[in-house]
Amino acid sequence: MDDQQQPPLFTFGVIADIQYADIDDGYNFTRSRRRYYRSSLQLLRNAQQSWSDSAVAPRFVLQLGDIIDGFNKGRGASDRALDTVLREFGSGPVEVHHVWGNHEFYNFSRRALLSSRLNTTPPDTDTEEPAGSLSADRAAPDIYAYRFSPFPGFTFVVLDAYDVSLLGREESSEEYRGARDVIRQHNNNEDLNCPPVVEGLERRFTMFNGGFSKDQLDWLESVLSSADEKKERVTIISHLPVHPNSTDPICLAWNFDKILDIIKSHSSVVCFMAGHDHDGGYCQDKDTGVHHLTLEGVIETPPDSDAFGTVSVYEDRMVLKGSGRIADRVFLFQ
């Protein structure tokens, strides 16, 4: 019998870059793509409706970052916009795991985010760690990175792609200075949102991107080592993509190569999911077989279309059923 005819072990929903704001339509920076700020809420509603109606209720939803747009901040509407979108999420049947993107930091400080409803770190389940030490389920107190296991044998890792960034860090902090040193080595522009070159991987060194600290990378190593031992299947999620063939390089994480190196040295990773590049992208890494999916963004999806997916997980594969401009895909495990 074909796997596809058997029921999945579990399913989950994915959606990226909602960027809701109660403002008229606009355009991206280069004016090549229209942005539908109000309609994005209706597209989220469509996704929730589909997940509510589905025969197999999804176990959870992954919200891949940029839930509300930075324009809310200047209008004093950040809290209101967030309430509006979270109310919509709350109407659905399942828990949501929120990833943080650049627009989260345009609206809120890191400290505010850590104590907000956008912090979906699960309660500590790790009983093996001695009292007082950090849980293996979380990276560090001010890094928004955690793991969760929705089904035996499957682990999901939420990464903090703005851990090393000029966004969200106090200008007086050591972290801010460290991030400024990194970007300044590559970008001499006065406006650090302006990429340093017109082509190639160096374009990623802009202020709207960021990277992963050594602490976070070390933690990821340890999570993946443990998953390797248990022969688990790991899906990593982050706002920023890490594979150059899965995105326009202007959207890559600063130290994407470090994540690729770590993935390469662990057999457990099967998939990496990101947002940020609203045009979306996909590749399967030829060495590791890991599937790198960049999900098309809701904000640049016309009101008569959709941009969400539902993933069915089987023993040997994940099957993405895309809606609207998201393609159907099969991610076979290697």
> What residues make contact with ligand ADP under the rule CB under 6 A?
28-29, 66, 102, 191, 193-195, 208, 276
Q: Which of 181, 204, 208, 176 is nearest to 105 (CA)?
A: 208
Least spacing, CB of residue 13 vs ligand ADP, in Å: 21
Least spacing, CB of residue 191 vs ligand ADP, in Å: 6
Most distant pair of Cα atoms in the chain: their distance:
61
The backbone torsions φ and ψ at residue 293, rounded to the nearest 5 degrees and listed phi first, read -110, 130
- CB-wise, 191 or 199, nearer to ligand ADP? 191
Contact indicator for 63, 89 with CB cutoff of 8 Å: yes
- CB-wise, 195 or 309, nearer to ligand ADP? 195
Least spacing, CB of residue 72 vs ligand ADP, in Å: 12
Contact indicator for 246, 204 with CB cutoff of 8 Å: no
Least spacing, CB of residue 40 vs ligand ADP, in Å: 12
Token couple for 95 = 């828990």
- CB-wise, 196 or 289, nearer to ligand ADP? 196
Least spacing, CB of residue 240 vs ligand ADP, in Å: 10
Contact indicator for 274, 242 with CB cutoff of 8 Å: yes
Least spacing, CB of residue 207 vs ligand ADP, in Å: 7
- CB-wise, 28 or 222, nearer to ligand ADP? 28
Contact indicator for 288, 334 with CB cutoff of 8 Å: yes
- CB-wise, 172 or 188, nearer to ligand ADP? 188
- CB-wise, 137 or 296, nearer to ligand ADP? 296
Least spacing, CB of residue 225 vs ligand ADP, in Å: 33
- CB-wise, 15 or 220, nearer to ligand ADP? 15
- Cα–Cα distance measured from residue 287 to residue 290, given in angstroms and rounded to the nearest whole number: 8
